[in-house]
Amino acid sequence: MKRRTQPTVIPVVILGALLSNAQNYSVMNYEVKLHPNKAARVAFPFENPGYASLSLTPAPNTGYNKIVNSVIEFPSDDVLWHRVDVNASSHVYAIDAGKGPGYSGREHVIIKGELGNTAAGGGGEPPKNPWFRVTVPDVNINWEGQTDETIEDTYMQPCVFTSDKSHHQVVVLKLPRDDDSLVSPVVSLSWDSPAIRLVWEDTGDPFPNGAGINFRAGGVRSYRFRVEPLIPYPIAFEIRLEGVMDNMPNKTYKERIPMDKVKGFTFYPTLESITFNHNTGSSANDAINLRQDYGNDLPYGNPPCEWDENGKSLPVCYVANRSVTVKAKIGFQNYWGVITEATVKAKQIGKEASLGNITPATIPIAPNVSDDYMFSVEGQTPNAVRLARSNEWEWVITHANGIELKKPFPFCTSGVHRVYTILDEPKAPWDNTYGSQQNAWVTALDFAITNGAKGATTAPAALSAITGYLHTGHGVTYDSAGGGCASYASGVQGRGIMDLTGYISKTSGSTVNCYDQAAAVCSIGALLGINVKYGYMNPFGYLYKVNLIGVGACNNPFYDSLLVPLPSANRIPLLNPPSGLTDLIHPERSNFENHAFAVLGGNVYDACSGPALGKSKLQYVTDTVDVSTFNETYPPEWGGSIQAGDSSKINEYDLTGVK
């Protein structure tokens, strides 16, 4: 049903008068028709002051005058208009609100006065009531749930391209609600685009474009059709419902066809890519720069992204406790600019995910391009070191061009996204400058998180876990035979470039020294964002009984070295077992001339002997270095004046690099 602006004149048409000279009284039948200026059977929006006045005027020279009387109401259910006032001199008729949506109760007419015979002879006649018939509205079609006829020329219902019929929009055809003696029950239904088809909602059978429907024959008062988009591109369409041609004279063919319509458009969104590290110059709100390992970058492509619709799914890494965003490229194949905006969100469906839902965002859609849009992730990144392998987002569109869809439409599931979380940006020797070979490595993150650091919420906890694993779980042994040569650390005192790649895979064997272990703890801790330093103490001294890596209880670290001239009886790791308390010195006992370990906030983490898991420097040296006698405190082989076990001799450095 369509509304027009109120015309300046609402004519009352007197269709005819029948007089019978043979009777003492005559009968006049009047039919009132409301006609807009330019269209047939179109309702008037009688908005303000709330009614329109109509006057019935007798045909000239009939002898009939206006009299006040009542108007007979028609009880039939087929009558759309009913009297709503009680004033005997002003009869107000309005559309019955009980007829259902699509007909406005504000559309009404008022009849003031009625007709009676005052002709001479025969004493007059009883007052006769003019027939009241209004021929609007005639045909009615609406989108399900949308009955505002005032916007039907601009309202366009979004119809998503999908085989899931629960997402299909429905159009509803209403029985012509006027007096059936005036309005034919036969209507035709057509649409102007091959982008859609209509199917009967109850059976799913296609409806032929332009075919007719006979409401009377169907025995129902409304019909429902699903609109099935056949093309995924945004294409506008119009569905028209037309009635039988009116017989009003002096009107064009188009004006004489009662017609109602609805409009819509087809569309289908695609998620083309997601970029997690969308700002390579900062990790304040996105992922850090990442590579596979020292020798291999990750295949980000150009333009770079971590996930795309073609199967790419690369790992990403975030700093803990941060609000982050992702950049998603969404396409609509919007060749003709039909869709201008859409509201999109995503639900996290991974069982052990580390990222939250995607916050709903309304994005502008430009014609004929796919654009990148920034989306916020709900909540914050985890507060602990973590590797989550089950991040998946179900992407959903809820509105198109500002109109809510029948229900949210899930158009893509992205993932599985592998997401690492570290405590802070990687520290030296790592470098978060985009493109550096010392960006964080996936292989190193896997090693660190899988082997102990997972779940740590603080730097000391994470570093303790790393130190403990490297001491007892990595399967390496101290170089007691070779005299303590480094296999993976390099440079002065082992604080140069750490061959972390080789250390992880043990490409140079499983024999290590304290430089290797200290550099491993430092490089892995720094990878997790821990400001750990390479601690070097020179001189060091004789050992109390410690747990030497891969050896066990030991106070004689070079027991198996031919470079140390020990008596054959003393070529054992622990002298004077089981306590290990001894005053032996060189040449009966070996010592550490110097020693390396990791230092964090003044506390020692030693993965070589101990392990020490966060002892203060003083406590660590006191517990480790045997200075119980003068000769152990000032070893004669060092000249007798160099003091062992002095914690003030600990110096801290950054590693030069990793490879």
Residues 440-464, mean pLDDT to the nearest whole number:
96
Cβ–Cβ < 8 Å for 438, 657: yes
Confirm if 554 and 545 have CB atoms less than 8 A apart: yes
The mean pLDDT value of the chain amounts to 81
Q: What is the mean pLDDT of residues 110-121?
A: 43
User: Under a CB-based contact definition with an 8 Å cutoff, are residues 228 and 167 in contact?
Assistant: no
- Residue 421 — very low, low, confident or very high, per pLDDT cuts 50/70/90? very high
Confidence of residue 564 (pLDDT cuts 50, 70, 90): confident
Does 499 score more than 80 pLDDT? Answer: yes
pLDDT in tens, 641-656: 999 999 999 999 999 9
Residue 168 is predicted with a pLDDT of 97
Q: How far apart are CA 68 and CA 99, in angstroms?
A: 30
Tell me the helix, strand and coil percentages in the chain, rounded to 5. 15, 30, 55
Q: Which residue intervals of the chain bear CATH 2.70.50?
A: 270-422
**Coil vs helix vs strand at 113:** coil
For the segment 4-21, the average pLDDT, to the nearest whole number, is 24
Q: pLDDT-derived band of residue 95, with 50, 70 and 90 as boundaries?
A: low
Is residue 526 over pLDDT 90?
yes
| pTM, 2 dp | 0.79
Classify 140-267 by CATH class.
Answer: mainly beta
Specify whether the CB–CB gap between 372 and 327 falls below 8 A.
yes
Q: In this predicted structure, what is the pLDDT of residue 147?
A: 73
Asked if 536 and 617 count as a contact pair (C-beta separation under 8 A), the reply is no
Cβ neighbours of residue 547 under 8 Å, at least 6 residues apart? Answer: 471, 553, 554, 609, 610, 611
- Report residue 258's pLDDT band, with 50, 70 and 90 as the boundaries: low
* Joined tokens for residue 146: 């949308």
Confidence of residue 152 (pLDDT cuts 50, 70, 90): confident
pLDDT-above-90 percentage for the chain: 66
Instruction: Determine contact, residues 266/229, Cβ cutoff 8 Å.
Output: yes
Question: 416, 391 in Cβ contact below 8 A?
Answer: yes
How far is the CA of 61 from the CAs of 17, 58, 65, 253, 425, in angstroms?
11, 9, 10, 35, 101
| pLDDT for residue 315 | 97
CA 407/CA 482 separation, integer angstroms: 72
Domain(s) of CATH 2.60.40: residues in the chain = 140-267
Question: Is 165 a residue whose pLDDT tops 70?
Answer: yes
pLDDT, greater one: 620 or 12: 620
**pLDDT value at position 84?**
56
State the pLDDT confidence band at 61, using cuts at 50, 70 and 90. Answer: low
Under 8 Å between Cβ of 222 and 172? yes
Which residue, among 388, 355, 542, has the nearest Cα to 455 in the 3D structure? Answer: 388
Asked whether the predicted pLDDT for residue 128 surpasses 70, the reply is no
Section 615-638 average pLDDT: 96
Alpha helices in 431-476 (DSSP H): 442-448, 459-472
Under 8 Å between Cβ of 626 and 544: yes
What are the DSSP calls for 160-196, one per residue?
E--S-GGG-EEEEEEPP-S-TTTS-SEEEEEES-TTE
SS3 for 241? strand
Residue 332 has pLDDT above 60, yes or no: yes
Which pLDDT band, with edges at 50, 70 and 90, does 420 fall under? very high
- The correct answer on CATH 2.60.40 for the domain covering 270-422 is no
Per-residue pLDDT at 615 exceeds 50:
yes
Confidence at residue 378, expressed as pLDDT on a 0 to 100 scale: 97
| d(C-alpha 423, C-alpha 321), whole Å | 8
Residue 171 contacts residue 141 (beta carbons within 8 Å): yes
3-state SS assignment for residue 29: coil
Query: Distance (Å, rounded) from C-alpha 362 to C-alpha 48?
Result: 37
Kindly indicate the confidence band of residue 83, based on its pLDDT and cuts at 50, 70 and 90: low
- Measured CA to CA, the distance from residue 380 to residue 391 in angstroms comes to 14
